[in-house]
Amino acid sequence: MDKNLSQKISEYSHFFSHMQDIKEIDHIEGQFFGFLVQDIKNYDFSGIAVIENRMAISFGVFDVLYPICRKVIFGSQNLTNEEFEARLEEINLASRIILCLNGEMNSAINRRLRMLELNLIKNIEEELHFVKLLTLKFKKSSALWYYRQKLIKKYFDEKGVSKEEVEKRITFEDGIIEEFLVKYPRNYYGWGYKKFLIDEYIIKSDYNDLLWKEYLKIKEYCEKNVHNFSAFHLLGTLTYKIAKKENKENMIKEQITWANNLIKKYEDLYLLESLEIKDKGIKYHELESVKRFLVIMKKF
């Protein structure tokens, strides 16, 4: 790669080399970015600033960094492992920068996957945090969630899958999923990742008490979020697996009764609200998720 271009992106390395303390990534219009940085002493006008642990990236810097980083990403596609490792510093920085600009760039995620496969990512916790920042910014990137799965697999390969370790990590991951779902409640990828964790590290390990704990947690969530079909779908999956695993013949019937009672409860609630507030805008189709769950239960 052109040394001048390589030198250009290296000027930004201090922003991206240690991201463990960053809480959020945000893209800012140029004029507002100017207001943000006007009181920063000795600011170098690079187009990026970290303010109270939040990384602000001016849209103006996209034209500077995106083409350079893109060139590194696509220029490293067919390298041998030896060549890839020789250019690791450049590839690592370029992929981090471009993912902060565009978290849906699969080629950049692929470079980081290759780094992981070659054991070139030394701090898995920091990388997991970096991916968390990206998923909170770019909600539609399925590749980011796939990459997180691979990172978690690497984490458990190193730490082991003892019950204590699984419970500790899944509790931590639950906090990240919850933060994501608060922002994007119906997003399929967050719930899909939750299912992955339960399947891979609870069910396969036969940690039945942890499975029940997750089941009850999701059921409680569904009681408060009757519109969220992704949550109900996962609840249905866990219900079936527990009923089959533990020969609980009445569990499906109990779920059907529970779902019917939930429908009645919210229908009555919505009816009362609609009588009191004419323009509330609550429609009965918001109970579609629990009603679909009921249909699934009756098919088991």
- CA 102 – CA 298 distance, rounded (Å): 43
For residue 137, being part of any structural domain is answered with: no
SS3 143: helix
User: What's the structural domain count of the chain?
Assistant: 1
Provide the pLDDT for residue 284: 52
Place of tokens 């390298």: 79
Write down the pTM of the prediction.
0.90
Reading the chain (300 residues) residue by residue, the pLDDT tens digits are 556 667 888 999 999 988 999 999 999 998 888 888 887 877 777 899 998 999 999 999 999 999 999 999 999 999 999 999 999 999 999 999 999 999 999 999 999 999 999 999 999 999 999 999 999 999 989 999 999 999 999 999 999 999 999 999 999 999 999 999 988 887 889 999 999 999 999 999 999 999 999 999 999 999 998 989 999 999 999 999 999 888 887 999 999 999 999 999 888 877 765 545 444 444 555 788 999 999 999 988
In terms of residue numbers, what domain contains 70? Answer: 1-124
- Residue 222's H or E segment, with its range, is helix 208-224
Residue 225 domain-assigned?
no
pLDDT (0 to 100) of residue 1: 54
Task: Give domain status of residue 84, yes or no.
Answer: yes
Is 259 contained in some domain? no
CA 212, chain centre distance (Å): 23
On whether residue 138 sits in a domain, the answer given is no
Pairwise CA distance, residues 288 & 232, whole Å: 11
- Establish if 81 belongs to a structural domain: yes
Q: Which long-range CB contacts under 8 A does 179-184 form with residues at least 24 apart?
A: 179/132, 179/136, 180/135, 180/136, 180/139, 183/136, 183/139, 184/139
The verdict on residue 73 lying in a domain is: yes
Task: Give the pLDDT confidence score for residue 273 in this predicted structure.
Answer: 57
